[in-house]
Chain A
């Protein structure tokens, strides 16, 4: 039974990535071109026009957007997955957790490819590999836990309240701006900054940028807090999916 599920998840993930490649003319190139275009837009506005970018703005933005794109995809794609597969859920008996899991795995594999490219760019731009790279896997595991938690939670609720889809994109855009993805939070006035620091995304971005750009070890205490928060979100997310699972086959598509 378990082996069968592993095969199902593995092949579905492959199918998801494969289908995405076949869906457009340029295929895999879009994995890179899409974030690159987004980065271009922010660079134009914040660095070139507003001149608020600061030193090393391009690598700062690159790292931030790459990581954020991964988190956001896990949350939205994972979030839509059960809703998008209601037709299937009405036909066959498959544990519903499979659907968000497949999306999260597919987005993580995509991220790893983009990240490899990001590393090459950073090395060429004068940010060489350093010893703190050893901490990257830890930061990424925590990021994955956090995003998966968000994805599971969304995936559980969206089938019941599909209207949430319209809200979630806006909320995620807001979170992106509040998390220092596109501009450094140093610009935020001090009393507000403490509140900003409570945001787990800020901790994860700071840790990744510190490692890649400054050879800095992460703030382990802050990372531990984020891990705990992520685990709580993950457990709640999975719990809600399992709790609501009997209701999904009864929903109209």
Chain B
């Protein structure tokens, strides 16, 4: 019952350093282990370039580990990403369907949700116009309205908690928090410590592509702050 949904053991991912023949490898992830259980909200913290986003893409199944093991059942993991597959010359409606299909929804489900998407994005009649005519704010609103429809078993979020103008930021942020509270399994990557603190119950601290410690939120935060203090003092 309490079997982990996803388990990573000493996972590493390498990129080639450059697009040149015979260029060296660069390990974006060196050695990361984690386990994720049903209904957990796991936050991933760490400094810039620690490998957090790469890790999220490994969990999403986009990147395959180059070493180590990953175990996961037949479940859907979806990285929450805005405007996936948007095509400039298509209408907002067609783009919503296309994008919805790409993030794993069935066509009939998206079509059933089109009225909700149209309402949430506040596009009005522009919904039927090619998105090439949209302002960047309109594009973001449509992108978010579609992305939030994804219903994977595990939702992965990389720093996109709010988009658009102040008003829509409020709205999109609260829609997302609502989704997270509904008991979904979530993995969240963020720089914003207060956000992580309010939304997650477990944390994983990643440093230089290695998992430093994983566990209860407060313990990991305490260790993380001690670590930061030490490294600041050392430099």
- In the complex, which residues of chain A have a beta carbon less than 8 angstroms from the beta carbon of B84? 88, 91-92
A22, CB-defined interface residue at 8 Å: yes
Q: Does A249 contact B (CB under 8 A)?
A: yes
Cα separation A249 to B61 with both chains bound (whole Å):
10
In this complex, which of B15, B62, B84, B94 has the most chain A Cβ atoms within 10 angstroms of its Cβ? B62
Q: Are A249 and B62 in contact (CB under 8 A)?
A: yes
User: Within 8 Å of chain B (Cβ to Cβ): is A117?
Assistant: no
Distance in angstroms from A17 CB to nearest chain B CB is 11
Q: Select the stretch in A2-10, A60-68, A200-208 that faces chain B.
A: A2-10
Are B63 and A7 in contact, CB atoms less than 8 angstroms apart? no
**Also in contact, A8 and B101, with CB within 8 A (given A18-B94, A250-B15):** yes
Contact with A along B83-127 (1 / 0, CB 8 A): 011011110001001100111101100000000000000000000
- Give bound CA distance, A250 to B57, whole Å: 11
Q: Is A30 an interface residue (CB 8 A)?
A: no
User: Closest CB of chain A to B88's CB: distance in Å?
Assistant: 8
Judged by a CB distance under 8 angstroms, whether B81 is at the interface is yes
A246 interface residue (CB < 8 Å to B): yes
Quick check: A92 and B89 within 8 Å, CB to CB? no
B19 beta carbon closer than 8 Å to chain A: yes
CB closest residue in chain A, given B95: A15
Q: Are B94 and A88 in contact (CB under 8 A)?
A: no
Instruction: List chain A residues, Cβ under 8 A from B89.
Output: 18-19, 22-23
Contact B104 A4 (CB under 8 A): yes
- How far does the alpha carbon of A12 sit from the alpha carbon of B85 in the complex, in Å? 10
Number of interface residues of B (CB under 8 A): 29
Q: Are A92 and B101 in contact (CB under 8 A)?
A: no
Interface string of A1-40 (1 = CB under 8 A from B): 0011001100110010011001100000000000000000
Is A94 in contact with chain B by the CB < 8 A criterion?
yes
In this assembly, does B216 line the interface, its C-beta being within 8 Å of a C-beta of chain A? no
User: How many A residues face the partner with a CB closer than 8 A?
Assistant: 23
In whole angstroms, what is the CA distance A4 to B108 when docked?
10
* B78 contacts across to A, CB distance below 8 A: 92
The number of inter-chain residue pairs (CB within 8 angstroms) is 63
A90–B77 Cα distance when bound, in Å, is 14
A73 to B139, CA, bound (A): 31
Question: Is A93 an interface residue, CB under 8 A from the partner?
Answer: yes
> Please, how many angstroms separate the alpha-carbon atoms of A46 and B58 in the complex?
57
Judge if B16 is at the interface, Cβ distance under 8 Å. yes
Question: How far apart sit A23 and B90, CA to CA, in the bound complex (Å)?
Answer: 9
Measured between beta carbons, the chain A residues less than 8 angstroms from B106 are 3-4, 7
Check: B154 CB closer than 8 A to any chain A CB.
no
Report whether A90 and B102 are in contact in the complex, using a CB–CB cutoff of 8 Å: no
Complex Cα gap A3–B108 (Å): 12
Query: Who on chain B is nearest to A15 by CB?
Result: B98
Of A3, A15, A90, A250, which contacts B94 at CB under 8 A? A15
Is A252 among interface residues, defined by CB-CB distance under 8 A? yes
Q: Indicate if the CB atoms of B62 and A7 lie closer than 8 Å.
A: no
Complex partner residue of B79 from A7, A11, A19, A91, CB under 8 angstroms: A91
Q: Which of B64, B81, B97, B98 contacts A91 (CB 8 A)?
A: B81
Which residue of A is nearest B21, CB measured?
A161
B63, B98, B101, B130: which contacts A22 (Cβ < 8 A)? B130
A contacts, CB < 8 Å to B: 3-4, 7-8, 11-12, 15, 18-19, 22-23, 88-94, 246, 249-252
Mind listing 29 A-B residue pairs with CB under 8 Å? Answer: A4-B104, A7-B107, A12-B98, A12-B101, A15-B94, A15-B98, A18-B94, A19-B90, A22-B90, A22-B130, A88-B84, A88-B85, A88-B102, A90-B57, A90-B62, A91-B81, A91-B84, A92-B62, A92-B78, A92-B84, A92-B102, A93-B60, A93-B62, A94-B102, A246-B64, A249-B57, A249-B62, A249-B63, A251-B19
With contacts A89-B62, A93-B62, A250-B15 known, what are 9 further pairs, Cβ within 8 A?
A4-B101, A4-B106, A8-B101, A11-B107, A88-B102, A90-B62, A92-B84, A93-B77, A249-B63
